[in-house]
Structure 1
Amino acid sequence: MNKFSARRTTNKYEQKLNASPKEVFPLLCPTMEYKWIQPWKCDMMYSESGYAEDNCVFKTDFPGDLEPETWIVSQYQKNKTIQFIRFNNSIVIRQNIFLIDNEDNTTTAIWEQIMTGLNDDGNKFIEQFKDEVYFEEVSTLGQMLNYYLDKGEMLKIMD
Structure 2
Amino acid sequence: MHNIETLNKFLKDELSATETYQQALDKLHEDVVLSESEHLRTIYEDHKASASSLQSLIIRLGGTPCEDSGAWGTWAQIVQGGANLLGKETALKSLQSGEKSGAEAYEEALQETELPSEIRSLIETKLLPAQQEHIRTLDRLIGAEAD
TM bucket (normalised to shorter chain) is 0.3 to 0.5
By percentage of residues, which structure has more helix?
2
By percentage of residues, which structure has more strand?
1
Query: What TM-score do the two structures reach when normalised by structure 1?
Result: 0.32
Query: What TM-score do the two structures reach when normalised by structure 2?
Result: 0.34
